[in-house]
Amino acid sequence: MTHRSFLHISLAALFALSVQTSARLEAQQTATEAPASIPLPAGINDNFKDPELNVSEWLDRFEVESREVYAGRKAVLEACAIKPGERIADVGAGTGFYSQLFAKTTGWDGWVYSVDIAPSFLQHIASRATADGIENLTTVLGTDVSIRLPPESVDLVFICDTYHHFEKPMQSLASIYRALKPGGRLVLIDFDRIPGKSREFILGHVRAGKEVFQSEVVAAGFQFTDEVEVDAFEENYLLRFTKPSK
């Protein structure tokens, strides 16, 4: 074997070793940087589907100033940038306090669809709307995979502290994508799951962090617009997306 041949083989071996080492380091770095996630907690939605659900208990939990998304409702409403006459889907509407704000903001020429999987919540929202004279609101019983709205029927979809409850997120996102008009907006608020920082409830209840949820929405066809800082938020975040125009 000539000196040149030996040198060629040595360089080739060194290159191969370098590639293997780089790949191993990249894999280790990716594993280190990958956002932590957990399986969806079993029965996460059972309470809401219970026909005996006590709405008054949830009112005490949802509509209190100590809850960030309630205390920050003015800033959240501004971030939604609702124009008069728009049609809005409040997905996972719960007790409906955002649905009411949306109905008043969009005005009589607009409409709000309060979507939830809990019949008891929907009954409460409908009764409250009637009592408050709100006529531009319809309740919609959603499913585990669909918000059950017609194609291109809404300008804005709002999901507040609910996305982590989606049992089949990509199917639900597909139904949301279909329901939005081209150029329509998606506002997503959820708990920021940060291992080593978030409290135990969030770590055990929310399956993944902001980066994972954002990537899922983008994978469903949406364009990420921005993240809006809300002063009242310490554990929550607000992301905005758009459905591409045709």
Residue 105 domain-assigned? yes
CB-based contact 217:157 (threshold 8 Å):
no
* pLDDT of the residue at 21: 38
Query: How much of the chain exceeds pLDDT 70, in percent?
Result: 85
Strands (E), 85-207: 87-91, 111-116, 137-141, 154-160, 180-191
Count of domains in the chain? 2
Q: Are residues 30 and 50 in the same domain?
A: no
Residue 28 has pLDDT above 70, yes or no: no
* pLDDT of the residue at 29: 37
What are 215-226's pLDDT values in tens digits? 999 999 999 999
Lowest mean pLDDT of 55-64, 204-213, 233-242, name the range: 55-64
Residue 41 domain-assigned? no
CB atoms within 10 A of CB 17: 10
| Mean model confidence pLDDT for the chain | 88
What are 144-197's pLDDT values in tens digits? 999 999 999 999 999 999 999 999 999 999 999 999 999 999 999 999 999 999
Residue 131 domain-assigned? yes
3-class SS of residue 176: helix
Edge to edge, the sheet with strand 236-242 lists 137-141, 111-116, 87-91, 154-160, 180-191, 236-242, 223-228
User: Which one-letter DSSP state was computed for residue 98?
Assistant: H
Q: Are residues 163 and 200 in the same domain?
A: yes
Q: Is the pTM of this model over 0.95?
A: no
Report the C-alpha gap between 173 and 199 in whole angstroms: 27
* pLDDT of the residue at 112: 98
What residues make up the domain containing 87?
A: 46-242
